[in-house]
Chains A and B, each alone.
Chain A
Amino acid sequence: MALMNLKNEDLSGYTLIIPSISVANVPQLTIDLSITTYNFRKVTTIWHPAIVPSIGVDPYQTNQDEICTACELYVNKELKLAAIQLRSAIETKLALTNEQIDNLMEVNGIKPLELTIGGKYSITGGGFALKLFEILHEELRCTLLVKYVSEGDNRPDALTMLEKVFAISGLHDTNSIVFPSSWDFVFGGPPPIGIY
């Protein structure tokens, strides 16, 4: 079973953004903002038995027939950016081994770099981010972006994170921000009339 079906998409030279499921879900919100503001296009669903399933309608264009799944790949050809949107947790007992990641990189034409970074870091509440960084940084030019946040209304955190992502990628974020329609329910639906 292919992890993803890239068909004829050539992602050579792209920067890939991977959100970690972490405190306040700021990385997911940031990916949401990237997709709506810069018109990222969905190119494939990503299937792996470790991904906890979650499914709904397209959170960006709710009038479309498109269905969104737990893990998908979006790209922006002009910006040469690719982003994975991960909408649910990962079953860690099925985590990919280093060898499987190497195979995956080979199959998808991802070229490893000859870089090594020493030292040990710790990020509390950062999900799988640090572990993924430790696996990838030896072979890829890899940046781990961390924002310390409090849980609550985390939309401003996502805006700040988006700025940083673009700054690190060497891009200018000139577009005016477009919020996904699904964010209308950030604080739940309206109260039931019956309570009044």
Chain B
Amino acid sequence: MLFGEIVEPSTRALIDEDFDEYPEVTESSPEWQGAREVPNEINTLVFIETDKVKKLFHSCVLQERKAVARIKNGGVEISDIGNRKYVVTFSEKRDLTYGQITESLKDWIKTAKNVYTITSDSISNYQNINLPEKPFSLIRVLTNDTTNSFGYERLESPNLISGFGASVLTYCIHLGIKCTLFITYVDTSPLDSVNMGPLIGLLERIEIPITHNELKITTSASNLYM
């Protein structure tokens, strides 16, 4: 940086996004692989995202199961976990928008009896004026199904959730389909029985079969102690 150089804060990034001319609208459609047909009956459809949640699911739920369908350019894999229950895994490697991916899964969503989404965020991002001491992890819920919140407290204002789970819940609200979003706020340390305990409890409550498995605990790539 040069002396006197004006450095704009990152929030000014919007300035560069003024749209004198919009880019050409590119019609991209989902590239399905595997079974295109939606099952006649879906009891539970669980959408998962974020590394922590996916790691736990891969270790305790999905294990060696192969996806029955995937959207190649959407970063989406659908796995059958038995008893008419399906897990939709979402990765960030995608060419489509969250909304496009959600719309392409609308037949799955409409067929499902229960729609859940599970996401996670760092506990440091959780805001609660009445909770000055934050626990290692906690779960909050957002749902348009007023009959059942599974015993979890509702997410408080002004916390906001973004990502794939937010897109699915928004879509369900728009269509009038019941959907429940769970967010687990966890510390940034690697997965262990303490910070993942509440999430395993959640899987039991929404009746997702768990195979107890040892989590491979990996230490931080950095050996810097803060």
Interface residues of A (CB under 8 A from B): 1, 5, 21-23, 45, 47-59, 62, 65, 67, 69-70, 87-88, 91-95, 97, 123-128, 130-131, 151, 181-182, 184-185, 188-190, 192-194
Contact = CB atoms under 8 A, between A and B. Distances in A.
A42 B88 CA distance: 31
Given A53-B162, A182-B158, A192-B134, A127 B97 contact: no
A56 B142 contact: yes
B128 A189 contact: yes
Report, as a range, how many residues of chain B touch the other chain: 35 or more
Residue from A59, A67, A123 with most neighbouring chain B CB atoms (10 Å): A67
Contacts of B159: 56-57
Contacts of B11: 23, 151
Interface in B1-43: 9, 11-12, 14-15, 17-20, 22-23, 25-26
A54 B133 contact: no
Given A23-B12, A127-B18, 12 more contacts: A49-B97, A54-B166, A55-B142, A56-B161, A91-B99, A95-B22, A125-B15, A127-B14, A131-B19, A131-B22, A181-B157, A190-B132
B142 A57 contact: yes
Residue from A49, A131, A188 with most neighbouring chain B CB atoms (10 Å): A49
Interface of B: 9, 11-12, 14-15, 17-20, 22-23, 25-26, 97-100, 102-103, 127-129, 132-134, 142-144, 146, 154-164, 166-167, 169-171, 173-174, 181
A188 B79 CA distance: 39
Given A57-B142, A67-B142, A189-B127, A91 B97 contact: yes
Nearest to B159: A56
15 contacts: A1-B103, A23-B12, A49-B99, A52-B98, A53-B167, A54-B160, A55-B142, A55-B181, A57-B142, A62-B157, A70-B166, A88-B162, A93-B25, A131-B19, A193-B133
Nearest to A49: B99
A45 B161 contact: no
Nearest to B132: A193
A67 B157 contact: no
A45 B146 CA distance: 18
Contacts of A55: 142, 160-162, 166, 169-170, 181
A93 B103 CA distance: 17
Contacts of A23: 11-12, 14-15
A87 B161 CA distance: 11
Given A23-B15, A67-B142, A192-B134, A93 B157 contact: no
Residue from B14, B155, B159 with most neighbouring chain A CB atoms (10 Å): B14
B135 to A, nearest CB: 12
Given A125-B15, A192-B133, A193-B132, A53 B155 contact: no
B162 A50 contact: no
Contacts of B14: 21-23, 125, 127
A184 to B, nearest CB: 7
A78 to B, nearest CB: 27
Residue from A70, A94, A124, A131 with most neighbouring chain B CB atoms (10 Å): A94
Given A45-B174, A190-B129, A190-B132, A185 B158 contact: yes
A181 B158 CA distance: 9
Given A22-B14, A193-B133, A53 B154 contact: no
Contact of A47 (B20, B155, B162, B170): B170
